[in-house]
């Protein structure tokens, strides 16, 4: 499941951060409590003079009056003032003055607001506490306590609620409204309804077909809850006829409301109130929870904040069915987008101190992360950070602005930090977040092959089916990376430098993003506890995200790999696939890389073998690109039931399957016979593709996986020659053709997502992506291809880019338009339909020629096809035919007696011939 896409649809469920509770013991504490209770009473009664009566003699009364004008309002029905944080007041002696941060919650009937205040309090005459100064830090206005309006019931006949591509028609039923002082904010519909959803785009139709068996969702529903910013945009209320209240119908509506309304816009406010409060959607926003007869409850969301502002999903199963831009969004931003376009700030640097006990009995993290940020939006007064829900935020402190007020957004791994001032573009600030909590390591997935059940062999083995088997799992390792939000980070990945200190139980070691700085140091522990070891890592080049893996590691080996800039790798073992005149990279280029292998104890000998292989791979990739993006690379060999790996910047964790593993994975798209270093080569390629060159949204993931897959294939070609390379091409092609009907490469994680088929994802994003690169190389030639790769890499290094950037680089170096090439192979799912005929006839000079004739039906593809002429004397002749039109015909003079013509003998083209 893509957390971001789903989270976006969930909209907002905010949980107020429960700050460090202050123990109340002494009399003095009691008196401070009394003061805050007095503030609470004054607020509740809107009694400004009562508040002024709490002031210290030296307090600024005018300032206090202005404060009450802003913060005290008539009509309050309940108020709560809760202390969150306390520091000594500067200029006061210890115990005589505090700066107190309080959260304030005030209800006005079914409306409420939250504010965060900073109160300076002083002890007067050694006894009583008074307010010396007061300031509002931030507010959240317009919270609503929603309920079904019990005074209005409507009869509906063909009452229709619409949003783009969606129609909910209540053929015969009952409607209740959910009202605020702003009008109708929700509808509860029950009775006999019909849901119709049909996206306009072909790709989305294809995904709906995978889900529903048809390009549209047509189903009955018996209940729906709809939440709207502006009802008149979606329905005509005049179609409803008021009828007398039926208690049974009202109870049913209230039950539907109780279950469905909390799923979006819902706030949970911790100790401020136990009741359910809700934010108001803005005009144009729309959410429908539809209880269908065929598909469980389906959720449709239109959300203005998202670049793809329409989505339909099954919330319970965590499956996105359709996610795409509305027509309006498409018209304003065009077909492509960069997720960074909506970024509010840019992280420049991280400094993280983390104490981790990742073992299963604890899984405990305690961290302090300092982020240096720069505002990139025009202005902002709030920062949104991603952090795992289970990690409690203890404090957020800014170097520039002191303590900051923060809210937790529940179920979305999000912390909202309110700023005391609106910051403008280019403003820089530093915030330190202290946090702790239980957090499990993330499971290895995606990059690990799928286990297959023994027999019978089903087409799509469930990924985790065999993991239940009770077998020795080897040395445990604990991975914290991009998927479990172990440190505060921006909502989307963002290049930054970093320094990370990780303290672990003494038995564990770790590998992390960055070059290890010095040996680990023993850290004295508190009374009686076991000693711990601290590791420090520095990422001096920008990285997309931070990661570490902890396990029992021993150093297997370390070497310095020397690069010969621009020169092809030369070790005499294999062939160099390219003869290129491509220019070398300009700018800072490393001419060496420190290569280290850390391994689980039993894997140390294997590690010593692998380091030479890894060095060879690094030299080879550097020779292709002319750069290595990071100055060090550590390979962490960990034991696992299945082969696979994970590659953040600066390191890769590589699974070493145990010899006694009972699992089979031979028919996985990324299992390549005859190429034992496949995973090592793939994971190392990610240092260039995926890490140094980032993808700008989920659609572009093939720039990471397809490229790493193709680089691994190129290494196979270099290391083992054409036979192994040919075998890889065969497998890339087989999987790509087999699964192309599941959607275009451009769907990224959504390939195979609806039915939870990770092999579909790998078959298309990895294998088809790589096969497309091979066809592109064939089409433009080795030299232009390598030049294009380098141009793309140089322009993209340490940024997030898309297919269009790659196309531009390749067009510039090849001098030919490639829009149709990428349109067919990346943005759409179809495959070419081709017929081929050949005949032998006399040429102009009377010599025998073979005429090869190709014809495409349907969409025209640009597709280079290798043709093999087999002669009776057993010699063969290879001819590459670039087919870029409806028909193509070439004549090849024969060099003997022709026995046979083999179409696409090297499997380099993604096409299956239609025999005529
Ligand atoms: Zn990968």
CA of 644 from ligand 1 middle (Å) equals: 9
- Say what the pTM is: 0.89
CA of 483 from ligand 1 middle (Å) equals: 14
CA of 447 from ligand 1 middle (Å) equals: 6
Scored b (16 or more CB within 10 A) or e, 427-465 reads bebbbbbbbbbebebbebebbbbbbbeeeeeeeebebee
CA of 643 from ligand 1 middle (Å) equals: 13
**Distance from chain centroid for Cα 129:** 49
620-637 pLDDT per residue, tens: 999 999 899 999 999 999
CA of 451 from ligand 1 middle (Å) equals: 17
CA of 680 from ligand 1 middle (Å) equals: 10
Q: Using an 8 Å Cβ cutoff, are 826 and 856 in contact?
A: no
Phi then psi for residue 512, to 5 deg, are: -145, 175
**Neighbouring residues of 210: CB distance < 8 A, sequence distance ≥ 6:** 742, 743, 754, 755
* DSSP string computed for 329-391: HHHHH-S---GGGG-SEEEEEEEEEEEEE-STTT-EEEEEEEEEEEE-SSEEEEEEEE--TTE
CA of 322 from ligand 1 middle (Å) equals: 25
CA of 487 from ligand 1 middle (Å) equals: 23
Neighbours of 364 (CB within 10 A): 14
Dihedral over alpha carbons 669, 673, 679, 680 (to 10 degrees): -160
Q: What is the pLDDT at residue 610?
A: 94
Cα 606 from Cα 617, distance rounded (Å):
16
CA of 687 from ligand 1 middle (Å) equals: 10
CA of 650 from ligand 1 middle (Å) equals: 15
14-63 pLDDT per residue, tens: 434 444 334 445 788 899 999 999 999 999 999 999 999 999 999 999 99
| Residue from 485, 417, 439, 491 nearest 8 by CA | 491
Q: What is the pLDDT at residue 178?
A: 97
Give the number of C-alpha atoms closer than 13 A to the C-alpha of residue 815, restricted to the C-beta side: 3
CA of 559 from ligand 1 middle (Å) equals: 24
Q: Which residues pair with 346 in a beta bridge?
A: 374
Cα radius of gyration rounded to whole Å, the chain: 32
| Residue from 888, 887, 871, 890 nearest 879 by CA | 890
Cα 560 from Cα 515, distance rounded (Å):
13
- Does the pLDDT of residue 150 top 60, yes or no? yes
Q: What is the pLDDT at residue 138?
A: 79
Neighbours of 842 (CB within 10 A): 9
Lowest mean pLDDT among 70-74, 292-296, 527-531, 806-810: 527-531
| Residue from 443, 463, 470, 472 nearest 665 by CA | 463
Q: Which residues pair with 841 in a beta bridge?
A: 849
CA of 735 from ligand 1 middle (Å) equals: 16
Token reading at 861? 């593809």
CA of 837 from ligand 1 middle (Å) equals: 39
pLDDT band at 421 (very low <50, low <70, confident <90, very high): confident
pLDDT band at 659 (very low <50, low <70, confident <90, very high): confident
Cα 237 from Cα 69, distance rounded (Å):
39
Q: What is the pLDDT at residue 618?
A: 96
Q: What is the pLDDT at residue 7?
A: 34
Cα 281 from Cα 464, distance rounded (Å):
39
pLDDT band at 453 (very low <50, low <70, confident <90, very high): very low
Token reading at 358? 């990742």
Neighbours of 342 (CB within 10 A): 13
Cα 73 from Cα 444, distance rounded (Å):
54
866-878 pLDDT per residue, tens: 999 999 999 999 9
Lowest mean pLDDT among 131-140, 173-182, 412-421, 694-703: 412-421
CA of 702 from ligand 1 middle (Å) equals: 9
CA of 676 from ligand 1 middle (Å) equals: 16
CA of 704 from ligand 1 middle (Å) equals: 7
CA of 686 from ligand 1 middle (Å) equals: 7
Mean pLDDT of 383-400: 92
CA of 670 from ligand 1 middle (Å) equals: 10
Mean pLDDT of 411-429: 88
CA of 359 from ligand 1 middle (Å) equals: 27
Average pLDDT, the chain: 89
Cα 36 from Cα 51, distance rounded (Å):
10
850-907 pLDDT per residue, tens: 999 999 999 999 999 999 999 999 999 999 999 999 999 999 999 999 999 999 999 9
CA of 701 from ligand 1 middle (Å) equals: 10
Token reading at 247? 């208690």
741-793 pLDDT per residue, tens: 999 999 999 999 999 998 999 999 999 999 999 999 999 999 999 999 999 99
CA of 705 from ligand 1 middle (Å) equals: 5
CA of 183 from ligand 1 middle (Å) equals: 51
Residue with tokens 């809210």: 407
Q: Using an 8 Å Cβ cutoff, are 646 and 640 in contact?
A: no
Strand order in the sheet with 887-893: 887-893, 848-857, 833-842, 912-914
Q: What is the pLDDT at residue 8?
A: 35
Indicate if the alpha-carbon torsion angle 248, 250, 251, 257 is positive or negative: positive
In order of 457, 462, 474, 731, 758, the CA distances from 454 in angstroms are 7, 12, 22, 22, 18
Mean pLDDT of 376-399: 92
CA of 645 from ligand 1 middle (Å) equals: 8
CA of 690 from ligand 1 middle (Å) equals: 8
Cα 864 from Cα 821, distance rounded (Å):
11
In order of 101, 651, 755, the CA distances from 494 in angstroms are 32, 18, 30
Angle between helices 702-720 and 769-780 (to 10 degrees): 70
225-234 pLDDT per residue, tens: 999 999 999 9
* DSSP string computed for 298-343: EEEEE-TTSSS-EEEEETTTTEEEEEE--HHHHHHH-S---GGGG-
Token reading at 842? 């006399």
Residue with tokens 């196979």: 716
Q: What is the pLDDT at residue 446?
A: 59
Q: What is the pLDDT at residue 229?
A: 92
Angle between helices 803-814 and 702-720 (to 10 degrees): 50
CA of 585 from ligand 1 middle (Å) equals: 24
Cα 385 from Cα 393, distance rounded (Å):
11
Mean pLDDT of 819-842: 95
Looking at the chain, the whole-number percentage of residues with pLDDT higher than 70 is 90
Angle between helices 702-720 and 678-685 (to 10 degrees): 130
- Does the pLDDT of residue 527 top 80, yes or no? no
- Does the pLDDT of residue 128 top 60, yes or no? yes
| Residue from 500, 506, 510 nearest 600 by CA | 510
* Helix/strand/coil for 789: helix
CA of 703 from ligand 1 middle (Å) equals: 10
């Amino acid at each position: 499941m893509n957390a971001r896409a789903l989270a976006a649809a969930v909209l907002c469920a905010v949980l107020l951060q429960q700050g460090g509770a202050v123990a109340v013991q002494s009399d003095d504490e009691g008196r401070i409590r009394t003061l805050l209770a007095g503030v609470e009473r004054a607020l509740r009664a809107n009694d400004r003079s009562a508040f002024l009566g709490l002031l210290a003699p030296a307090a600024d009364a005018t300032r206090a009056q202005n404060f009450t004008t802003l913060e005290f309002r008539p009509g309050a029905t309940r108020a709560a003032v809760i202390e969150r944080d306390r520091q000594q007041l500067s200029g006061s002696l210890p115990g005589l003055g505090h700066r107190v941060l309080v959260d304030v919650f005030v209800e006005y009937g079914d409306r409420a607001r939250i504010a965060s205040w900073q109160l300076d309090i002083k002890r007067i005459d050694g006894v009583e506490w008074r307010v010396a100064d007061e300031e509002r830090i931030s507010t959240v206005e317009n919270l609503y306590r929603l309920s079904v309006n019990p005074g209005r019931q409507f009869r509906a006949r063909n009452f229709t609620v619409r949003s783009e591509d969606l129609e909910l028609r209540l053929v015969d039923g009952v409607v209740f409204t959910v009202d605020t002082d702003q009008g109708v904010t929700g509808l509860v519909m029950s009775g006999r309804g019909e849901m119709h959803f049909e996206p306009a785009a072909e790709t989305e139709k294809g995904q709906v077909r995978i889900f529903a068996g048809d390009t549209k969702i047509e189903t009955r529903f018996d209940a729906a809850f709809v939440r709207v910013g502006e009802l008149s945009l979606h329905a005509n209320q005049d179609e409803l006829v008021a009828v007398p209240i039926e208690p049974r119908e009202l109870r049913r509506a209230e039950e539907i409301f109780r279950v469905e309304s909390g799923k979006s816009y819902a706030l949970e406010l911790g100790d401020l109130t136990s009741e359910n409060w809700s934010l108001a959607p803005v005009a144009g926003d729309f959410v429908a929870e539809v209880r269908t007869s065929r598909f469980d409850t389906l959720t449709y969301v239109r959300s203005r904040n998202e670049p793809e502002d329409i989505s339909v999903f099954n919330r319970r199963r965590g499956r996105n069915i359709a996610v795409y831009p509305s027509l309006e969004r498409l018209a304003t931003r065009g077909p492509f987008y960069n997720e960074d376009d909506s970024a509010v700030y840019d992280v420049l640097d991280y400094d993280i101190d983390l104490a981790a006990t990742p073992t299963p009995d604890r899984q405990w993290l305690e961290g302090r992360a300092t982020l240096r940020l720069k505002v990139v939006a025009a202005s902002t007064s709030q920062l949104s950070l991603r952090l795992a829900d289970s990690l409690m935020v203890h404090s957020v402190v800014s170097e520039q602005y002191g303590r900051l007020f923060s809210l937790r957004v529940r179920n979305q791994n999000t912390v909202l930090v309110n700023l005391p001032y609106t910051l403008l573009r280019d403003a820089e600030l530093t915030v330190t977040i202290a946090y702790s909590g239980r957090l499990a390591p993330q499971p290895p997935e995606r990059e690990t092959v799928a286990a297959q059940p023994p027999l019978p062999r089903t087409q799509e083995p469930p990924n985790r089916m065999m993991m239940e088997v009770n077998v020795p799992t080897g040395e445990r390792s604990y991975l914290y990376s991009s998927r479990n939000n172990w440190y505060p980070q921006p909502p989307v990945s963002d290049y930054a430098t970093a320094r990370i200190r990780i303290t672990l139980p003494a038995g564990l070691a770790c590998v992390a993003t960055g070059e290890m700085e010095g040996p680990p140091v023993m850290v004295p522990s508190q009374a009686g506890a076991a000693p711990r070891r601290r590791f420090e890592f520095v990422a001096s080049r920008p990285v997309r995200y931070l990661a570490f893996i902890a396990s029992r590691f021993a150093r297997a080996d370390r070497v310095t790999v020397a690069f010969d800039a621009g020169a092809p790798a030369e070790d005499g073992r294999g062939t160099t696939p390219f003869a290129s005149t491509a220019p070398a990279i300009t700018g800072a280029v490393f001419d060496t890389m420190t290569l280290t292998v850390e391994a689980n104890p039993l894997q140390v000998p294997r590690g010593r073998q692998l380091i030479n292989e890894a060095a060879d791979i690094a030299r080879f990739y550097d020779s292709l690109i002319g750069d290595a993006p990071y100055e060090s690379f550590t390979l962490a060999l960990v034991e696992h039931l299945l082969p696979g790996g994970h590659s953040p910047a600066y390191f890769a964790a590589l699974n070493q399957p145990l010899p006694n593993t009972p699992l089979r994975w031979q028919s996985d798209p990324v299992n390549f016979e005859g190429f034992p270093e496949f995973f090592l080569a793939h994971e190392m390629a990610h240092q260039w593709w995926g890490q140094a060159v980032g993808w700008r949204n989920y659609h572009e993931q093939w720039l990471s996986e397809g490229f790493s897959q193709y680089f691994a294939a190129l290494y196979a070609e270099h290391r083992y020659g054409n036979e192994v390379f040919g075998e890889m091409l065969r497998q890339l092609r087989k999987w790509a053709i087999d699964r192309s009907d599941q959607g275009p490469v451009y769907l990224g994680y959504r390939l195979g997502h609806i039915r939870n088929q990770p092999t579909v994802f790998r078959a298309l994003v990895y294998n088809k992506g790589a096969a497309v690169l091979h066809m592109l190389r064939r089409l433009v030639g080795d030299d232009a291809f390598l030049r294009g790769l380098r141009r793309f890499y140089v322009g993209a290094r340490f940024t997030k880019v898309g297919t269009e950037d790659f196309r531009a680089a390749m067009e510039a170096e090849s001098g030919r338009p490639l829009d149709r090439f990428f349109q067919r192979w990346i943005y759409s799912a179809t495959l070419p339909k081709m017929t081929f005929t050949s005949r032998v006839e006399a040429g102009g000079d009377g010599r025998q020629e073979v005429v090869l004739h190709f014809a495409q039906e349907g969409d025209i593809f640009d597709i280079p096809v290798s043709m093999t002429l087999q002669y009776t004397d057993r010699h063969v002749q290879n001819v590459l035919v670039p087919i870029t039109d409806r028909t193509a015909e070439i004549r090849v003079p024969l060099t003997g007696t022709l026995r046979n013509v083999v179409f696409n003998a090297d499997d380099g083209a993604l096409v299956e011939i239609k025999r005529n």
